[in-house]
Amino acid sequence: MFYFQTTNPHKFQEAKIIFEKYGLKLERIPNKYKEIQAESLEDVVIEAIREIGKERVFIEDAGLFIDSLNGFPGVYSSYVEKTIGNEGILKLMKDVKNRNAKFISVVAFLESLSPLKIKIFRGEVKGTISIEKKGKEGFGFDPIFIPLGYNKTFAEDINLKMKVSHRKKSIEKLARYLEEAYG
């Protein structure tokens, strides 16, 4: 049994579907954990998983990095989504030609406490910021993110998100590792 510590039920459902494909059992720990302010998602998840201090637990943090905004909101995506939301990002992007962006997801898995062994898995999907919000599926910045090679936002097509998302990529890397290491 493995554990995903997250307060976000949407993230847990995405992970559970992936784990089931690999024949792995996953439970949710719905507790908050301390998120430090840091320059990288890797720093955030490594510090948080150390503080959690439970083996066979993983956490995931993600961010939207917009090229023309020098990577903003990046590691501050959750706070930005709660404060200015999609509308605020679209206002910042008004009349901006370069709409390139990427979602990055980083997973930290605490394999052992003694010796301390943390495994990191990263997933990324490139895309663009839409001109307006579209769709009702997903959460966060899904209504304004169009993955490269597609013409719909993640919020317009949840199956598209499940197929190409940053979180799918990072959690699949973790699941493949766990299947091989613990299978």
- pLDDT exceeds 90 at position 34: no
pLDDT value at position 162? 87
Of residues 121 and 39, the one with the higher pLDDT is 121
Model confidence over 129-155: pLDDT tens digits? 999 999 998 889 999 999 999 999 999
Query: Domain 2-182: which CATH class?
Result: alpha beta
Q: What is the pLDDT of residue 150?
A: 97
**DSSP class per residue in 77-133:** HHHHHHHTHHHHHHHHTTT-S--EEEEEEEEEEEEEETTEEEEEEEEEEEEEE-SS-
Active site residue 67: no
Residue corresponding to tokens 């490139």 = 126
Domain ranges in the chain?
Answer: 2-182
> Structure pTM?
0.93
Say which of 61, 67, 142, 157 is annotated catalytic.
61
Residue 24's nearest CA partner among 168, 164, 182, 165 is 182
CA dihedral (134, 138, 141, 143) in degrees, to 10, reads 0
The confidence score (pLDDT) of residue 88 equals 97
Distance CA 163, CA 173 (A): 14
Q: Is the pLDDT of residue 183 over 80?
A: no
Q: Which two tokens stand for residue 137?
A: 């599926």
In this predicted structure, what is the pLDDT of residue 139?
Answer: 85
Angle between helices 166-182 and 9-21 (to 10 degrees): 50
